[in-house]
């Protein structure tokens, strides 16, 4: 089992748009093989700094999703509202 920490910085004034898109994306991820769970977090000092902590069965499952056309389509929704590309960190248990 692995954890994937996704860090995103949202453009000013786009938090509501991000929250709606992120919620939809997380719900769609529940159907992806190997996905176990995900939790969203907001930096208490900066509400434009967000984190998503996901649990995956294997690194292979995550990599397959990371490079899938479905994820690419979903992540393209975020492109206009992010200040910079998302940062992904893989964590071992």
How high is the mean pLDDT in each 10-residue block of the chain (93 residues)?
97 91 86 95 95 96 96 88 95 91
pLDDT of residue 28: 87
Quick one: pLDDT at residue 7? 97
What are the residue boundaries of the structural domains of the chain, listed by start? 2-92
Q: Which residues contact 76 (CB under 8 A, 6 or more apart)?
A: none
**CB of 41 closer than 8 Å to CB of 51:** yes
Q: Does domain 2-92 have CATH number 3.40.50.11540?
A: no
Residue 58: per-residue pLDDT? 97
Q: Can you give the pLDDT at residue 46?
A: 95
pTM: 0.91
Tell me the C-alpha distance between 16 and 13, whole Å.
8
63 Cβ neighbours under 8 A, 6+ residues apart: none
């Amino acid at each position: 089992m692995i954890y994937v920490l996704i860090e995103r910085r949202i453009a000013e004034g786009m938090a509501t748009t991000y929250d709606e898109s992120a919620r939809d994306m997380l719900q769609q991820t529940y159907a992806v093989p190997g996905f176990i769970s995900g939790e969203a977090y907001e930096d208490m000092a900066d509400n434009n700094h967000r984190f998503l902590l996901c649990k995956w069965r294997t690194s292979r499952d995550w990599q397959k999703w990371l490079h899938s056309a479905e994820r690419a389509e979903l992540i393209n929704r975020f492109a206009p509202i992010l200040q910079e590309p998302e940062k992904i960190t893989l964590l071992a248990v």
